[in-house]
Amino acid sequence: MTLNELTLNFEKHYGEGGTIITAFAPGRVNLIGEHIDYNGGYVFPCALSFGTYVAARTRNDGQINLASLNMPKKVTVTLNNLAYNEENDWTNYPLGVLNEFIKAGFSQEITGVDMLFFGNVPQGAGLSSSASLEVATGVLVNALFNLNVDMVELVKMAQRAENLFVGVSCGIMDQFASGMGRKDHAIMLNCSNLKYQYAPVKLDGMKIIIANTNKKRGLLDSKYNERCDECESALSDLKSTAFPNISFLCDIAPNEFMSAINNIKNPMVAKRAQHAVFENQRVIDAVDKLNANDIVGFGQLMIQSHESLRDLYEVTGNELDTLFEEALKIDGCVGSRMTGAGFGGCTVSIVKDAAVQNFIEQVGKNYTQRTGLVADFYIAEIGAGASVISV
């Protein structure tokens, strides 16, 4: 959809007149560094070229009108009556962001708004459509009312909206990648203190391919909480013995961890901790590989990451493992791994240009034969972070 088409649709919804501003916030994929954000480790996401577009215009009556070209639900509320309502469905995400602005002291500046959204992030693929929606709202409201909030604070507001208003316990990686992304770069983000650096991803002659298992993830919440508890148990054992001064598992270097692994009482818990410690090191090594333009070396780290998530952390499952195994059979696939929380969702692979079509056809065919499911494939580009795109 073009910006002109979005503006025309906005005028169909809300009428002509006034100044319409549009903004965009991308979805994200995490290239490496899985299940270590809550262990104080590094993650390595990048913004994607698809995401959420929003057009908006100010009002002077304290009313908020929200509509989407993707979903039928429309909501009208007032600024003095912002509260979560399950019936408001997807609109709770932008309403939560507006609520953060009001809590931050901007109740006088924000006078009301009409907003129309359009998203091309594949729904349910684990590519952060909700974070994209939140950050797009934040960027647009910030510009529309000249609030001068910097991007990192907008990212934090978007996360708080999801945590406190919507009630979803997410980390900050998704919103951070959407807001702070840089074209052709990934972000090495320290989840314990939000320090970050960019690393170039020069995919000359290669593409990033995201494959969606299309498996419903019924076990996700319970298993996610279980892994968090297991990591807390490992941390407790290590703090009471070998490492009294650490705050997170990822504070420990791999060689130090292996010398103290027997201090973890439960062998299963030790496996979870081993993944976290070594995955954190893989992110550090990945940045070194990319800075040296060693995409093949980076691909090997991706493969090691998936194997660790399969064997030590046990969050992959048959569908993700099948996509991973079939990907590595394709000549021209440099690396592949699951991305996201697991038990379904997506893999991310790096594939040489000449092999892309064969990769999609063969991996898709073999995946269906082995699982009975049909995978969706997306050729992704690393895009820029959120911004106003017209005024």
pLDDT at res. 110: 97
226 shares its domain with 185: no
Whether residues 33 and 164 fall in one domain:
yes
User: Do 174 and 46 share a structural domain?
Assistant: yes
Residue 121: band (very low, low, confident or very high) from pLDDT cuts 50, 70, 90: confident
Q: Over 60: is that where the pLDDT of 219 sits?
A: no
Tell whether the model's pLDDT for residue 375 goes beyond 60.
yes
Q: Is the dihedral of CA 377, 380, 386, 389 positive or negative?
A: negative
Lowest mean pLDDT among 162-171, 260-269, 294-303, 370-379: 162-171
Which letter, b or e, does each residue of 41-60 get, where b requires 16 or more Cβ atoms within 10 Å of its Cβ? bbbbbbbbebbbbbbbbbbe
Q: What is the pLDDT of residues 64-105, one digit of tens each?
A: 999 999 999 999 999 999 999 999 999 999 999 999 999 999
Q: Can you give the CATH number for the domain in which 120 is found?
A: 3.30.230.10
**Residue 3: pLDDT over 90:** no
Q: Are residues 367 and 262 in the same domain?
A: yes
pLDDT reading at 165 higher than 60: yes
Of the listed ranges 38-42, 124-128, 161-165, the one predicted with least confidence = 124-128
Residue 193 and residue 166 in one domain = yes
Considering the domain architecture, whether residues 225 and 118 belong to the same structural domain is answered as no
Confidence at residue 140, expressed as pLDDT on a 0 to 100 scale: 98
Q: What is the pLDDT of residue 177?
A: 95
Q: Are residues 219 and 167 in the same domain?
A: no
**What's the confidence (pLDDT) of residue 221?**
67
Q: Residue 286 is part of a domain; what is its CATH number?
A: 3.30.70.890
Q: What is the pLDDT of residue 1?
A: 77
Q: Can you tell me whether residue 63 is helix, strand or coil?
A: strand
Range of the domain at 251: 206-380
Task: Provide φ and ψ at 36, rounded to 5°.
Answer: -125, 0
Residues 192, 211, single domain; the answer is: no
Q: Count other Cβ atoms within 10 Å, centred on residue 23.
A: 25
Task: Report pLDDT digits (tens) over 312-351.
Answer: 999 999 999 999 999 999 999 999 999 988 888 899 999 9
Q: What is the pLDDT of residue 125?
A: 65
37 is catalytic: no
Distances 231 to 44, 134, 173, 214, 227 between C-alpha atoms, Å = 20, 29, 19, 28, 6
Q: How much is the mean pLDDT over the chain?
A: 94
Which band of pLDDT confidence, cut at 50, 70 and 90, is reported for residue 289? very high
pLDDT for 391 equals 61
| 37, 114, 174, 321: the active-site residue | 174
Vertex 51: Cα angle to 14 and 190 (nearest 5):
130
Residue type, position 223, single letter: K
Domain count, the chain: 2
Bridge-based pairing of strands 185-190 and 63-68 is unpaired
* Higher pLDDT, residue 380 or 356: 356
Query: CA nearest 359: which of 384, 323, 315?
Result: 323
Q: What is the 3-state secondary structure (H, E, C) of 76-143?
A: EEEHHHCCCCHHHHHHHHHHHHHHHHHHCCCCCCCCCEEEEEEECCCCCCCCCHHHHHHHHHHHHHHH
Kindly state whether residues 367 and 233 are assigned to the same domain. yes
273 and 357, same domain (yes or no) = yes
Are residues 356 and 233 part of one domain? yes
Q: What integer pLDDT is reported at residue 168 of this predicted model?
A: 82
Same domain for 297 and 326: yes
Predicted TM-score of the model (pTM): 0.91
- How far is Cα 302 from Cα 206, in angstroms, rounded to an integer? 15
Tokens 């709202």 appear where? 137
The Cα angle at residue 43 between residues 281 and 200, in degrees rounded to 5: 90
